């Protein structure tokens, strides 16, 4: 990990680079949007820890309002970090098949309200047995594939079979259904609402089938950042799994209610004509499948190449920075970015306000 | 940080918590020894690029006593383990002077700068404080390469102990190096080549003195030597399974990984948390909990995602090392 850590009160200009910054007012603005959107609604936000990986920040949204006081976690280890950080209501949104991880989850369920998604009857039996052995109870949500072709049941009938099984087994408690979905490209408001509704309705069809079979469904966990304002308008949805909205990324810039709050500050190492070389590369920025960040305030600037520890940029004219100048990079894939850092430097204006560890970074397990 | 369920040494590779990063000890040792011999036979010096594996303890295993790293913070970590010279791939900032001086009390440092001006500035900072810091000038052979353009070298060699040229962004390394290295050799100073991909031994015929290369322990042999073990968590339809290893646990910065020792299985794509394993109907029977070994397309970036490196031999866990320089970016 980085052996240089800033102090509260340090001026921004004195930070070592590259540094991962959070613009605190921008993030708080995003949290306030959620608080206002969900005020007085049955449906609430369940913020996703996979994006932020820091219980201190997750708690900040809970304190701001609009949530159900719980969070999502992508992995068991991430759930452990959230519980250790004081959050007591966790939905693990990925299936878990390993015995040792399920044992960890069952132990966690003794001190926190743990829910897990499943899409397979054998897996459900496994969860049940391990929870019984541990003397705990795990809430069960059936994952529904609505559009992405990923995990999840493919039909209402499969959902009903799993729900019935969950009501019959010990150590588990059937709670409802959940789904993930995405929208491709730059989506306008109409597209978001049309596509979002269509996907969520698929999840609700499974809910209805389960209820028609006589099994009560108390939770429908669906939606994400792009449907943060769509899902609460759909009857039956009880919570939204949003994550990206907190820090945002340039690829989600069509979500105009939110501001980009995460930036990487980098230093220009060298300049030649229209080319500039900076001290931030793939390892600190991430570039999955060729996705590249943007330079704040310089839409004409492009990444020619990202190397392990530095990058080459090209401007449409002479490179507008000198060696030693600082510039700010905006991520195109925010949770991949955050997963490469051990701490956020929280800044307000030009001053360090806090340094927040990212304890769930690298929690792959 | 990473929180696996640790398994005792002697455990099977297939019992490791998934996803986990591992290297195969005998293969990386064999690859390293063979490559070092080839470089040596050609009369050149090999400086391993340790920023690839970011694991100081691995230097001991691989007998790497002089290393190249990208950043000052990496150099600080490696200086606790090795006794030879550390080369740092870019100029240090005035704010890093104290760290540089501290490291130079332990091991010699060589700093690669982009320009003679940078070298003069750094020299003035260390002047009278240490004799253990030397400087190399990075030479650029392409507009998109950082460094002083070849045509701008003015023959002055004050404070410059060598020239470094990188093959980064170059399509044909041998042709590129064959053109630029002889011109640099005319200076009489050592010419150092920084190879950013695995430099095949046939490039060693080119006229240069020292090679900076870090992928040879992992790519130098016919069989894979570094992998991530992952497990199936969902089998929602025929011919498709989902692994618990996505872009956060294996880098896709250089493309999707491949499935080791398999012709019928492939990774179709990856999300942040999951890998999409596909196969043709009838060619495999895959169930929940089955494990697979994925070979990363980008080894360096994958090391940077983990805090622990499992060392295996004969599919048995024989060591566990801290990847201490994970996240050492500045």
Q: How many CB atoms lie within 10 A of CB B261?
A: 12
pLDDT band at B24 (very low <50, low <70, confident <90, very high): very high
What's the CATH number where A296 sits? Answer: 2.40.37.20
With a pLDDT cut of 90, the percent of chain A lying above it is: 93
Report the C-alpha dihedral over residues A58, A63, A67, A72, rounded to 10 degrees. Answer: 20
**Do both A42 and A167 map to the same domain?**
yes
Q: Mean pLDDT for chain A?
A: 95
Q: Fill in the DSSP letter of residue B12.
A: B
Is A7 inside any structural domain? Answer: no
Q: In this complex, is the C-beta atom of A310 within 8 Å of any C-beta atom belonging to chain B? A: yes
Is A192 inside any structural domain? Answer: yes
pLDDT tens readout for residues B132-167: 999 999 999 999 999 999 999 987 778 999 999 999
**Chain A residue with Cα closest to B7:** A100
C-beta atoms of B236 and A341 within 8 A:
no
**Do both A193 and A327 map to the same domain?**
no
**Do both A151 and A287 map to the same domain?**
no
**How confident is the model over A215-244, as a mean pLDDT?**
96
**Do both A227 and A116 map to the same domain?**
yes
| Tally of domains within chain A | 2
Please choose, from the candidates B92, B86, B77, the residue with its C-alpha nearest in 3D space to the C-alpha of residue B132.
Answer: B86
Please choose, from the candidates B302, B303, B321, the residue with its C-alpha nearest in 3D space to the C-alpha of residue B311.
Answer: B321
pLDDT band at A149 (very low <50, low <70, confident <90, very high): confident
Q: In this complex, is the C-beta atom of A134 within 8 Å of any C-beta atom belonging to chain B? A: no
Domain interval for residue A177? 26-243
In this prediction the ipTM stands at 0.95
What's the CATH number where A212 sits? Answer: 3.20.20.10
Pick B51's closest partner by Cβ from A273, A309, A339: A309
* Element spanning A211, H or E: helix A189-212
Q: Which of residues 217-276 of A touch B (CB under 8 A)?
A: 267, 269-270, 272-273, 275
**Do both A73 and A159 map to the same domain?**
yes
**Do both A229 and A297 map to the same domain?**
no
**Which of A211, A243, A275 is the last residue before a domain boundary?**
A243
Asked whether residue B306 carries a pLDDT value surpassing 70, the answer given is yes
**Do both A304 and A156 map to the same domain?**
no
**Chain A residue with Cα closest to B55:** A1
Name the more confident of A275 and B263.
A275
**Which of A214, A243, A272 is the last residue before a domain boundary?**
A243
Is residue A159 within 8 Å of residue A165, measured between CB atoms? no
Residues of A in contact with B76 (CB under 8 A): 3
Q: Which domains does chain B have, with CATH numbers?
A: 13-23+221-322 (2.40.37.20), 26-219 (3.20.20.10)
**Which of A221, A243, A265 is the last residue before a domain boundary?**
A243
Q: What span, in angstroms and rounded, lies between the C-alpha atoms of B299 and B255?
A: 11
Asked whether residue A182 carries a pLDDT value surpassing 90, the answer given is no
pLDDT tens readout for residues A62-100: 999 999 999 999 999 999 999 999 999 999 999 999 999
Is A249 inside any structural domain? Answer: no
Task: Give me the residue label for tokens 């010990």.
Answer: A170
Q: Is the peptide bond before B19 cis (omega within 30 degrees of 0)?
A: yes
**Do both A235 and A269 map to the same domain?**
no
pLDDT confidence of residue A148: 81
Which of the residues A16, A19, A97 would you substitute to probe the B interface, choosing the one with the greatest number of B C-beta atoms within 10 Å? A97
**Do both A161 and A291 map to the same domain?**
no
The pTM (predicted TM-score) of the whole model is 0.96
Name the more confident of B280 and B101.
B101
Q: How many CB atoms lie within 10 A of CB A296?
A: 16
Residues of B in contact with A342 (CB under 8 A): 1, 327
Asked whether residue A1 carries a pLDDT value surpassing 60, the answer given is no
Q: What span, in angstroms and rounded, lies between the C-alpha atoms of B195 and B89?
A: 12
**Do both A46 and A146 map to the same domain?**
yes
C-beta atoms of B244 and A97 within 8 A:
yes
C-beta atoms of B245 and A364 within 8 A:
yes
Is A270 inside any structural domain? Answer: yes
**Do both A76 and A225 map to the same domain?**
yes
Q: How many CB atoms lie within 10 A of CB A253?
A: 14
Q: Which regions of chain A does DSSP assign to beta strands (E)?
A: 19-23, 44-48, 67-73, 89-92, 113-118, 138-143, 172-178, 219-222, 239-240, 262-272, 275-278, 294-295, 302-306, 311-314, 326-330, 343-348, 351-357
pLDDT confidence of residue B154: 81
Note the maximum CA span of chain A. Answer: 71
Is A6 inside any structural domain? Answer: no
The three-class DSSP label of residue A30 is: helix
A53-75 burial string, b = 16+ CB within 10 Å, else e? Answer: bbbbbbbbbbebebbbebbbbbb
Q: Mean pLDDT for chain B?
A: 95
**Do both A75 and A223 map to the same domain?**
yes
Q: What span, in angstroms and rounded, lies between the C-alpha atoms of B23 and B311?
A: 5
């Amino acid at each position: 990990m980085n052996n240089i850590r800033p102090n509260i009160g340090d001026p921004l200009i004195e930070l070592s680079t590259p540094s991962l910054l959070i613009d605190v007012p921008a993030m708080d603005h995003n949290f306030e949007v959620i608080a206002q959107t969900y005020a007085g609604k049955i449906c609430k936000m369940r913020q996703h820890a996979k994006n932020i990986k820091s219980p201190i920040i997750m708690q900040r949204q809970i304190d701001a309002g609009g949530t159900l006081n719980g969070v999502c976690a992508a992995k068991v280890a991430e759930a452990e970090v959230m519980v250790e950080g004081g959050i007591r209501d966790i939905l693990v949104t990925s299936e878990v098949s390993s015995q040792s991880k399920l044992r960890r989850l069952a132990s966690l369920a003794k001190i926190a309200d743990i829910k897990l998604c499943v899409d397979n009857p054998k897996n459900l039996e496994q969860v049940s047995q391990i929870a019984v052995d541990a003397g705990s109870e795990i809430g069960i949500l059936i994952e529904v594939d609505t559009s992405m072709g990923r995990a999840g049941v493919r039909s209402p009938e499969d959902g009903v079979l799993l729900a019935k099984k969950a009501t019959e087994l010990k150590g588990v408690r059937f709670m409802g259904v959940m789904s993930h979905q995405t929208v491709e490209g730059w989506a306008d408001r109409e597209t978001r609402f049309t596509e979002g509704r269509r996907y969520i309705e698929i999840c609700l069809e499974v809910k209805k089938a389960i209820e028609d079979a006589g099994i009560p469904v108390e939770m429908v966990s669906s939606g994400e950042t792009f449907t943060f304002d769509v899902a609460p308008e759909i009857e039956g949805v009880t919570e939204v799994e949003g994550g990206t909205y907190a820090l945002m990324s340039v690829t989600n810039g069509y979500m105009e209610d939110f501001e980009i709050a995460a930036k990487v500050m980098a230093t220009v190492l060298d300049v030649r004509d229209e080319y500039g070389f900076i001290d931030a590369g793939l390892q600190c920025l991430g570039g999955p499948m060729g996705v590249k960040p943007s330079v704040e305030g310089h839409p004409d600037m492009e990444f020619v190449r990202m190397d392990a520890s530095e990058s080459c940029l090209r401007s449409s004219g002479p490179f507008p920075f000198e060696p030693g100048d600082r510039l700010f990079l905006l991520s195109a894939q925010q949770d991949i970015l955050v997963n490469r850092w051990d701490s956020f430097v929280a800044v307000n204006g030009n001053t360090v306000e806090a340094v927040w560890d990212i304890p769930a970074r690298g929690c792959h397990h | 940080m990473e929180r696996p369920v640790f398994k005792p040494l002697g455990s099977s590779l297939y019992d490791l918590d998934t996803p986990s990063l591992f290297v195969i000890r005998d293969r990386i040792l064999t690859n390293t020894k063979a490559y070092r011999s080839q470089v040596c036979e050609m009369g050149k010096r090999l400086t391993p690029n340790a920023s690839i594996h970011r694991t100081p303890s691995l230097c001991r295993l691989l007998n790497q006593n002089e290393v190249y790293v990208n950043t000052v913070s990496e150099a600080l970590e490696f200086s606790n383990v090795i006794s030879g010279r550390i080369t740092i791939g870019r100029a240090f900032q005035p704010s890093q002077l104290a760290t540089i001086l501290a490291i130079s009390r332990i091991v010699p440092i060589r700093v690669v700068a982009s320009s003679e001006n940078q070298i003069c500035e750094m020299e003035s900072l260390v002047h009278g404080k240490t004799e253990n810091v030397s400087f190399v000038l990075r030479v650029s052979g392409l507009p998109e390469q950082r460094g002083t353009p070849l045509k701008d070298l003015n023959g002055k060699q004050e404070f410059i102990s060598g020239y470094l040229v990188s093959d980064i962004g170059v399509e044909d390394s041998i042709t590129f190096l064959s053109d630029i290295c002889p011109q640099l050799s005319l200076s009489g100073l050592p010419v150092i080549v920084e190879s950013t991909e695995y430099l095949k031994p046939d490039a060693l015929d080119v006229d240069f003195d020292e090679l900076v290369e870090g992928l040879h322990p992992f790519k130098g042999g016919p069989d894979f030597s570094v992998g991530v073990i992952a497990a199936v968590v969902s089998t929602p339809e025929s011919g498709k399974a989902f692994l618990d290893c996505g872009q956060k646990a294996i880098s896709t910065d250089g493309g999707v990984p491949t499935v080791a020792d398999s012709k019928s299985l492939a990774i179709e794509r990856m999300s942040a948390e999951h890998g999409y394993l596909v196969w043709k109907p009838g060619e495999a029977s895959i169930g929940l909990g089955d494990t697979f070994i994925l070979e990363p397309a980008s080894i360096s970036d994958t090391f940077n995602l983990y805090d622990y490196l499992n060392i295996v031999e004969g599919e048995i866990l024989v060591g566990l090392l801290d990847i201490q320089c994970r996240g050492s970016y500045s």
